[in-house]
Structure 1
């Protein structure tokens, strides 16, 4: 128990230092969407925050989808309906030879939009490549990085995969609060202090996110409902859209187990509505 707490303590301060170092020179913003439909007001906010209504262009990265061409088409179409036509689909496949011109299209885009699908599929193509580096370069230099559903999950360093280790048959939420059950992998790491869950209120994913912040108490759990987004600017977060954002914290780093079930005390829960703001250290 003492060793576990020492490891968590070291990891927490390591992540905090890394986050501070990253945020110090980052000019961009994140727009993390919980999935579902995207109201016109949300699209307008993305356009205005990115500035592509005035100059530059946006790109859609559809690699989360099993049908990336269709995903790129529908993603760009939603912007076209708003009168924004300077946004384009840009697909990559695993292990392709990466051309400098294609990477520059990401690096110089003012808006990068990651579509929904399967976050594992996206990271399998992008993780550890120059594509990932180009996304980070764009974010550092002032671009808006947006993502919906799977595109939301990939934003954080620690990424929920959607799978349970002890119950491989898929369910939209966890049926239990169990130790060593949540599967996580490495996401893009655009933000390191949170872990994101999507479709949150609609699919009642409370057990999953509670499990995450009990197992990884150094992280803040952000549950974003459908048709809702969190706009991240430094440590400031604003709720945009139509529904709620649920925030879980485990400040006492509490975890107890009994027959694989877990408990925790002192967990904090906050619920935010569109237009409300909060900060994450």
Structure 2
């Protein structure tokens, strides 16, 4: 999928985004004006946008759906629907397909990203989402936690953070391929997933890794131009200048070596160009301390 042809917007989120009723001190942005879901609403066209919630990844989809209905209601949204997709057959239902056709925004919840791949991947809904993301200006696909991880082609499906960065510790699976040039991990700071995403990059060195902290996301335009939103940070793993990567020659369970893997730490307002491997830190005139 050429980035020059992509007209839609992706918003991957690191999980645990502010929904307007948490008291956790990490959620320190003004919810209505600056919160991640407020950005989702604005990108989708405003309070009257048709927003579809898909809680397929969750083990408690009804509760998760209700939480998002309440969160978007707090933002004044008047047209929010939950599609409770739990089987491959659900992804072929005419009523559900019609909702996707009419949507301004589709948002995938957190949970187990493999459920998204299993129940939605290669379905009519998946093909429709790919087509609308490519061709419809203003169409938004958002996803938090598992919903963000499923956006890539090479999707992290599991793996222990404690044991990662030995060959074979990270499980990979095909995702929904909205943005094949990335591999995404979430809850990144809070769950110590540095090694996990690094092994994924070792396996697929032609992609860039994004590790999202909680309550942090990116608005991605044209399949390439990224702007950080939320209260935390995004760690970018850029393998463009790798000079050593021994992943292919090692036995399973062996520690790996990578040299000249470049990391960028980005926060609210910072920008990243995936193709150019370029960081634009805003405001550039801010003092260096």
TM-score, length basis structure 1:
0.85
Structure 1: how far apart are the matches of 2:88 and 2:39? Answer: 34
2:12 is matched with 32
Report if aligned partners of 2:88, 2:120 keep a CA contact under 8 Å in 1. no
2:101 is matched with 107
Q: Tell me the secondary structure at the aligned position of residue 180 of structure 2.
A: coil
Given the alignment, which residue of 143, 148, 168 partners 1:147?
143
Residues 180 and 56 of structure 1: CA distance in aligned 2, closer, same or farther (over 3 Å)? same
Question: What is the number of residues matched between the two proteins?
Answer: 252
Given the alignment, which residue of 228, 243, 248 partners 1:239?
228
1:250 is matched with 239
Q: Tell me the secondary structure at the aligned position of residue 262 of structure 1.
A: coil
Cα displacement (A) at 1:218: 0.5
2:264 is matched with 270
1:121 is matched with 115
Structure 2: how far apart are the matches of 1:224 and 1:233? Answer: 18
TM-score, length basis structure 2:
0.82
Structure 1: how far apart are the matches of 2:99 and 2:164? Answer: 44
Q: Tell me the secondary structure at the aligned position of residue 259 of structure 2.
A: coil
Stretches of structure 1 lacking an aligned partner (at least 5 in a row): 1-18, 164-170
Structure 1: how far apart are the matches of 2:164 and 2:146? Answer: 23
Cα displacement (A) at 1:128: 1.2
Map 1:19-168 onto structure 2 (within 5 A).
19=1, 21=2, 23-38=3-18, 40=31, 41-53=35-47, 55-96=48-89, 98-140=92-134, 141-142=136-137, 143-163=139-159
Q: Tell me the secondary structure at the aligned position of residue 230 of structure 1.
A: strand
Structure 2: how far apart are the matches of 1:47 and 1:202? Answer: 26
1:16 is matched with none
Stretches of structure 2 lacking an aligned partner (at least 5 in a row): 19-26, 276-289
Q: Are 2:177 and 1:195 aligned? A: no
Cα displacement (A) at 1:144: 0.6
Cα displacement (A) at 1:78: 0.7
Please give the root-mean-square deviation of Cα atoms over the aligned residues, in Å. 1.7
Structure 2: how far apart are the matches of 1:213 and 1:46? Answer: 28
Q: Tell me the secondary structure at the aligned position of residue 70 of structure 1.
A: helix
Cα displacement (A) at 1:52: 3.7
Which shows bigger deviation, 127-136 or 148-157? 127-136
Write out per-residue CA displacement over residues 207-226 of structure 1, whole angstroms, 9 at most, x where no aligned residue. 11111112211110100100
Report if aligned partners of 1:103, 1:130 keep a CA contact under 8 Å in 2. yes
Which shows bigger deviation, 244-253 or 29-38? 244-253
Cα displacement (A) at 1:176: 4.0
Structure 1: how far apart are the matches of 2:37 and 2:9? Answer: 15
Structure 2: how far apart are the matches of 1:248 and 1:118? Answer: 23
